[in-house]
Amino acid sequence: MYCGIYANCLQTVTEDNPELLKSFSAAGLQILESAMLSSVNSMEYILLKTLVAGTVWNLKDLIPSRSQAEIINAVLKILSEVLEMDAGQTVIQMKVAETQRLKTAAETEEILESANGDVLIEDDEVEEMSHKRKARRKAFVSDLLPPTDKELRQTTALLSAQQTALEIIVNMCCSEDPSDDEWEEFSSSDESDAFMETSFNECGGQLLSPLCLSHEIHTALTNCLIPKKIVEKTAFPNCTAVDICSKNPTWKPLIRKMNTIQCRALVCLQSLVSLLDVDHLGGAPALQTLAQHLSQLLFSQPDFAKHTDFLEAISGALRALLQTMASKNISQCMTPDQLMTLCKAGIYNSNTGVRVNVVSILGITGSVLAKEDGTLETLKTIGCCLLEVATKDPSLVVAGEALDALFDVFADGKEAEKASVQIRLLSALKEFQPVFKMKMRKEGRSKYSQEQLCVLDNVKMNLRRFITYQETVEKRLTS
């Protein structure tokens, strides 16, 4: 137990801590390597190995370049083995083991009491001994059910290991921060030449560096079948395991742990879909199957809007997946009804991340539909929804994302042009433009980060240019 606590502390303190890295010795790395290679397979040791793998990942800059690939493979092999295990079945098996252990203990106590019960005693003594025996049995059984009961402890260790493994994989999917020079290049001035030379629908408001993976990590992820195992973890927890846990107060907290693993897996999936080539994800058919899987997860729960953590995680995964499919011209499977159900559930959610994901999904889907025939009414619905978010959402980040989505949807296509005129998009944006500028001046520096302001500056620039474009569209269609 203490080893696990120390390993958890070590993983935490070594993350983003360059000062500590300077003092870490080669002998320390060898100890960590020994722990990773151990063949002990108890659940607690699996958790220990996972935490050590996370620590080694944090210390990767200390490892010679010639050994990097070997270490990365060793780390991901451990994570793969952890994710391979079926947590739901483990819950069921451990609860059965606990029940059997308690039954055996109770039977043993009965036998011991019977063996000592042959001495002749008076009736009043019988009553007194019966009372004491009941008290002893109660104390004996309660002693078998402390919070650290071994079956519960084993199960908790496995769930913690799987959650940690997913978090390590997300950390591997790094995003490098732009330098100060890069921020200066994208100045906040409306007259920035850099912006004027790039069309609004090419910028898309995304000024941050994309996620990236080294060749070694990319190879190790695919060789260890990490994407497949992560998709499996996105499923809802085993209903039998959930039912078992819900009936026992000491096991009930495991339900939240199982739900957390699902959310972490969805976040992990979002990163991998953004990073890996379509071929490494199984090609177009696999992406379509994955989209159907995520849609089924989302819409099979009638009250999904109430579970904010789940909604943020799955909407982020859907956003990344639909964007990848759109960029590769892979047909999407979300129906207009499903799209609007998600929209209604998401645009009023208190979580900013959920709202950003939902309007982005509307933009991605709308931009695909804009190139197809017979989509006028759906485009009008999407446009009205995005306009409402852009003009009424209290967060500038969400409003900016909604404007970006409008740019994407109505940038091109005959159906999109007709829809923009019919929903009076131009007049609405002209009216909102000074309001958006004013909110940026009043709230920008005090409420938003440098990265967010950079994106919002880009949106403000593209809004002005999009209005000019819409003026030509409306003039052509109404003349």
Mean pLDDT value across the chain: 83
Q: Do 229 and 222 form a contact (C-beta atoms < 8 A)?
A: no
Q: Is the pLDDT of residue 138 over 80?
A: no
Q: Is the pLDDT of residue 141 over 70?
A: no
Examine residue 196 and state whether it is found in any structural domain, yes or no. no
State the total domains in the chain.
1
Q: Is the pLDDT of residue 195 over 90?
A: no
Residues 400-424 have a mean pLDDT of 95
Residues 119-131 have a mean pLDDT of 50
Q: Do 380 and 422 form a contact (C-beta atoms < 8 A)?
A: yes
Domain ranges, residue 412: 336-479
| Separation CA 345–CA 356 (nearest Å) | 13
Examine residue 363 and state whether it is found in any structural domain, yes or no. yes
| Separation CA 260–CA 163 (nearest Å) | 7
Confidence band, pLDDT 50/70/90 cuts, at residue 334? confident
Question: Residues 144-190: pLDDT tens digits?
Answer: 334 448 899 999 999 999 999 999 999 888 644 433 333 333 333 33
Supply the pLDDT for residue 180: 36
Residues 103-110 have a mean pLDDT of 79
Examine residue 466 and state whether it is found in any structural domain, yes or no. yes
**Least confident among 36-50, 71-85, 109-123, 248-262:** 109-123
Supply the pLDDT for residue 295: 93
Give 192 or 412, the one with higher predicted confidence.
412
| Separation CA 428–CA 420 (nearest Å) | 10
Examine residue 104 and state whether it is found in any structural domain, yes or no. no
| Separation CA 230–CA 163 (nearest Å) | 11
Examine residue 37 and state whether it is found in any structural domain, yes or no. no
Give 363 or 23, the one with higher predicted confidence.
363
Examine residue 2 and state whether it is found in any structural domain, yes or no. no
Q: Is the pLDDT of residue 336 over 90?
A: no
Confidence band, pLDDT 50/70/90 cuts, at residue 242? very high
Q: How far is CA 441 from the centre of its chain?
A: 33
Examine residue 391 and state whether it is found in any structural domain, yes or no. yes
Question: Residues 360-375: pLDDT tens digits?
Answer: 999 999 999 999 999 9
- For residue 456, give the nearest of 469, 468, 440 by alpha carbon: 440
Examine residue 136 and state whether it is found in any structural domain, yes or no. no
Give 353 or 333, the one with higher predicted confidence.
353
| Separation CA 61–CA 393 (nearest Å) | 43
| Separation CA 442–CA 15 (nearest Å) | 36
Q: What contacts 24+ positions apart, CB below 8 Å, involve 10-16?
A: 10/51, 10/55, 11/51, 11/52, 11/54, 11/55, 11/58, 11/164, 14/55, 14/58, 14/59, 15/58, 15/171, 16/58
Supply the pLDDT for residue 126: 45
Check which CATH number belongs to the domain holding 416 and give it. Answer: 1.25.10
Q: Is the pLDDT of residue 431 over 70?
A: yes
| Separation CA 424–CA 418 (nearest Å) | 10
Q: Do 217 and 172 form a contact (C-beta atoms < 8 A)?
A: yes
Confidence band, pLDDT 50/70/90 cuts, at residue 3? low
